[in-house]
Amino acid sequence: MEINQMLKRQEHFFQSQKTKDYEFRKKALLRLEYAIKKHEKEIEHALYKDLGKSCFESYMTEIGMVKSELSYIKKNLKRWMKPEQVKTPLAQFPSKSFKIKEPLGKVLIIAPWNYPILLSLQPLIGAIAAGNCSVLKPSEHAPHCANLLKKMIGEVFPSHYVAVINGGVEISEKLLEQSFDHIFYTGGEQVGKIVMEKASKHLTPVTLELGGKSPCIVEESADIKLAAKRIVFGKFLNSGQTCVAPDYILVDKKAESELIFYLKYWINKMIGKHPLSNKDYPSMINTRHYQRIMDLMKHEKIVEGGYGDMRLKKIAPTILVNVKEKSNVMQEEIFEPLGMSDTAFWLPKEKQSRLAKAYETVCDENGNRSMKLYTGDNLAVRNDMAEPPAYEAGGAGLTSTLDDYMKFARMLRQNGTWGDRQILKPETVHYMRNGQLLPKQQQDMDKWLGLEGYSYGNLMRVCRNPSQAVMLTREGEYGWDGWLGMYFANFPKEDMTILMGMQKKDAGTFPLTRKLRNAVISEYLG
């Protein structure tokens, strides 16, 4: 059903006044409670599939809390709905004054991935209890929970009353273009800003439950063992994927060593000496988030943990010490950044030693080929990147690392998103990875040796016809070649990136490049 049509039906149903009735609301809550009890084992399974949660943690942090919310609201709903008498101004004597609570209408709930059941159903319970119609958009990053929610809700509620709509960023954008009477969003700050901006166009009130950097303060006079126990429990529940989890500790210098000792003690006590093999220890939501957290720890002093297993998507409980206020791990919300900290249009003196040298192929008068150090400049960009350019061109002149470049490639594969953050609009990504040439331009492109079967998007070569290509590829592959040796290709349907760094000028057209990518494609794509 089209979103517009579904919302019109919800508006019509709300205007019928049926949702305002106490008995209607109570029965709706009972139906939801029935659905949760009926599918409890499926909920546990879905949470394990998406986040690796044990049955105990699933019940403690999600199922049990939802049940508790339902019980509390059922117990108090009738009292909350009663008109509340208030003082009547003398000018209105002898009348009486009351506060009467009215439902808003159509409510949009956008839920996060870190507690995909709890933070979907808790706001929904509130919306139902308040007499509203609702649209729930679960997180696409927890697909098993999202699909189960759609099934559960669909069994007990018609879509003109409560609807679940699954999908990625594009669905969220379509929903936010609609006129709702309230929006409830849980997630990162950057997306929260987008939600508020979209809501403002319709003057829609919003509730934003966002993340932050939550501190703990431990003084010398504290019970250090007890403080450490509470911090470890709060931090490593759900593998740290909790918006209100402690992020950093401000500790009295005199108590620092004791606190570290007991933090290690409780990590070992609660999670074990081998946390990655602990089946009850949850995983990261996906490999992208795994890699992002690992990257944040790269240049920090680690006194516990710091290792992980990408295959399992698990990172050992980690303690960092002497972290500087300006470091990435302190400045970035754990749920957010792209974090290309080693990418720039020039390199300061302290980074010059890390810049790889580039070579070029030259021929002598006898036709003999050899390699020599390349020291030229191109497109007004200096090869040594030693000073800021007069103009930071979007299409040339960046220096980067393989790690940083891979973050960029993954962001494009995710349709412009990184975590909960929208880095590029989906429309922009579409123009980048789809051919945009006019017929006459495409005719010229077809004559380009080595790129048969390709077109160009916005600064990207795009494969249109793999059968015409001179190298192994797939339809929709896109990427570009760097001037001094970087080569990048994304395969969106296969969810794969080929990224190569070679110390050779114009390496993209080099036969070895084609041979290397052919070997990778043969191995992984067949």
Q: Show which residues are catalytic.
A: 209, 243
What region, left, alpha or beta, does residue 324 occupy, with left being phi > 0 and alpha being psi -120 to 50 degrees? beta
- E strands within 332-428? 359-363, 369-373, 417-418, 421-422
CA–CA dist 243, 214 (Å, integer): 9
Quote the crossing angle between the two packed helices 143-156 and 22-38, to the nearest 10°: 130
Sign of CA dihedral 27, 33, 37, 41: positive
Those residues with Cβ within 8 angstroms of residue 329's Cβ, 6 or more apart along the chain or in another chain: 296, 297, 300, 320, 323
Alpha-carbon gap, residue 521 to 281, rounded angstroms: 35
Task: Give the SS3 label for residue 89.
Answer: coil
Q: How far apart are the first and last CA of the chain?
A: 38
Measure the CA–CA gap between 410 and 412, rounded to whole angstroms.
Answer: 5
The length of the chain is: 526
Cβ neighbours of residue 362 closer than 8 Å, sequence gap 6 or more: 369, 370, 371, 372
Least Cα distance to 3 among 191, 126, 159, 144 occurs for: 159
User: CA-CA distance, 72 to 363, in Å (whole number)?
Assistant: 82
Bridge partners (DSSP) of residue 134 are 107, 162
Q: Say if residues 122 and 186 touch (Cβ distance below 8 Å).
A: no
* Phi-psi label, residue 447: left if phi above 0, alpha if psi -120 to 50, beta otherwise: alpha
Of 205, 184, 186, nearest to 108 by C-alpha is: 184
Reduce the DSSP state of residue 441 to 3 states and report it: helix
Q: What is the 3-state secondary structure (H, E, C) of 21-44?
A: CHHHHHHHHHHHHHHHHHCHHHHH
Q: Which residues pair with 372 in a beta bridge?
A: 360
User: Please, which contacts does 196-204 make with residues 24 or more away whose CB atoms are closer than 8 Å?
Assistant: 204/179, 204/180
**One-letter amino acid for residue 333 of the chain:** E
Greatest Cα-to-Cα distance within the chain, rounded to the nearest angstrom: 112
Token pair recorded at residue 203: 């003057």
